[in-house]
Amino acid sequence: MLKTIREAAGLLTGPKRRRFQAQVTTDYLDGSARQAERVFGWGREAVQLGLHELRTGITCCDRFTDRGRHATEEDRPQLAHDIRDLVEPHTQGDPTSPAPFAFTRITAKAVRQALITRKGYREEDLPSQRTLSAILNRLGYRLRHVQKTRPLKKIKQTDAIFANVDAAHERAAAAEDTLRISIDTKAKVHVGDFSRDGEARGAEAVEALDHDMTPVATMIPFGILEVLSGVLTILFGISRLTSDFVVDCLELWWQQRRQDLPGVKRLMIDLDNGPETSSRRTQFIKRMVEFADKFGLEIELVYYPPYHSKYNPIERCWGILEQHWNGTLLGNVETVLGWARTMTWKGQSPAVHLVAGEYERGKRVAPEEMEQYEARLQRSETLPKWSVIITPQEVLAG
C-alpha cells in the first residue's frame, strides 16, 4: 500500500500532488506532516503547504521563474544598458563620438574590450567572452546573414505590361511566319577549380581550391530559346556584357538557324528591360535596327515588367544548366563549353558557341544620329518602353 501511494504521488505535479499528499496525511496520519515525511518520504514543507491549501481552499501558485540562477543582464541591468549603448549607434550619448563598431564587426570579444575602454569596466568585473556572446544573443544581437533589400514587387504598369505580353504571345502563336524566342544572360561563370556547392558521385570527393581568388577566365552565358520547339542555343562571351555582345549573339544564332526556318519573316523576342537590352539603350536600338535590315526581319521586342524576370522562359534553362554542372570543376574554357553541350532541355542538347570578340562598354549613339533609328520604331502608345516593333528597310521601301 505504501508503495502504491508513493507511486501515485509521483505521477502528480504541483498543486495536484500537494492536495493528494495532504489528503493522504489527513486520512491516515492524523494530519501530521512530520509523519508523512517519515512514512512516505515526502517533503515536510510541501505537505504543510498542501494541508493549508486543503483547509482554506486557496491554491498557491508556484514561482518556477525565481528558481536557479538569473541571466546576467537581469542581475546587472546597467551592464545590459551599456552593451546596448555600444552596439546601437543611434543611442550614443555624444553624436560626435564615432561609433565603436563603425569599422569592426560586433563580436563578444570586441564588445568586451569596448566595455573596458569606453565604459570604464575592469577586466575582473566583466563576464567571460562566452557569457557575453550569450548575452548579445539574448539581447537580440545575433549573427545574421546580410540580406538584400526586398525589391518593389510591382510598378504602376505591371498589369498592363503583362497584358501586352499575353496579347503578343497570342499573335505569335497564330502567325505562321513568326518565331517567338526568349533571350537573357546568366550570371558570369568564373573559370577555375572552384567549388560550385554541387554533388557528384565518385570513389572520392572532388577537391576544389580553398579560395576563389583569381579565375582563369570569366565567361558570360547568353541564351536564346525558341519557345515552342524548345531549341536552345547558348553563346559564351569572354569579354564584357554589352549591347553589341547581345546583338552579335543574335546574328550568329540566326545565321546558324535561318536555313532550318525558311518561313520565318518575323521575330518576337521576350526579354528583360536590363541595361544592355533596354529599349532606351541607344546602342542596342541601333544594332537591332541594323539586324532587322541585314536579314529582312520584322522584330517585336516584348519586355517583361521589372522584378518579374522569372517569367521569361529562358530563365528555366539556366536552372537546369546550373544543376547539370555544379558538381564538377569548370577548370578551363573547354570544360565549360563541354558541360554546356551535354545538358538537355526538353530532351535536346543545346547548340553551344564561343564568342571571342572584345567588347567596349559605354558606347552611345549621338542624339542626331539616334533620330533616324528612333523613326524606324513603332512604340506602343500606352507602353512605349515595354513594346517596340522594328520594321526592316526593305519592307518600308516596298
Residue-wise pLDDT tens digits, 187-241: 899 888 766 665 544 455 455 555 556 788 899 999 999 999 999 999 999 999 9
**Average per-residue pLDDT in the chain?**
86
Residue 284: count other Cβ atoms within 10 Å of its Cβ: 23
Q: Are 289 and 297 in contact (CB under 8 A)?
A: no
329 falls in which pLDDT band (50, 70, 90)? confident
Q: Has residue 247 got a pLDDT over 90? A: yes
User: 323: which DSSP letter?
Assistant: H
The span from the CA of 176 to the CA of 324, in Å, is 34
Measured CA to CA, the distance from residue 226 to residue 87 in angstroms comes to 54
Picking from 39-48, 179-188, 301-310, which range would have the lowest pLDDT averaged per residue?
A: 39-48
Return the percentage of the chain with pLDDT > 90, whole number: 48
Q: Give the pLDDT band of residue 325 (cuts 50, 70, 90).
A: confident
Q: Stretch 125-144: mean pLDDT, rounded?
A: 86
Alpha carbon distance 94, 340 (integer Å) = 59
Q: How confident is the model at residue 394 (pLDDT cuts 50, 70, 90)?
A: confident
pLDDT > 70 in the chain, percent? 86
- Greater pLDDT, 253 or 71: 253
pLDDT at 98: 55
pLDDT at 177: 96
pTM for the full predicted model: 0.63
Angle between helices 14-28 and 33-40 (to 10 degrees): 100
pLDDT at 53: 87
pLDDT digits (tens, 9 = 90+) for 67-94: 667 788 888 889 988 888 888 754 444 4
- 161-166: long-range pairs with CB below 8 Å, 24+: 161/303, 161/304, 161/305, 161/383, 161/386, 162/304, 162/305, 162/308, 164/302, 164/380, 164/383, 164/386, 164/387, 165/270, 165/302, 165/303, 165/304
In the chain, what are the helix, strand and coil shares in percent, each to the nearest 5? 45, 15, 40
Cell of 73: 543582464
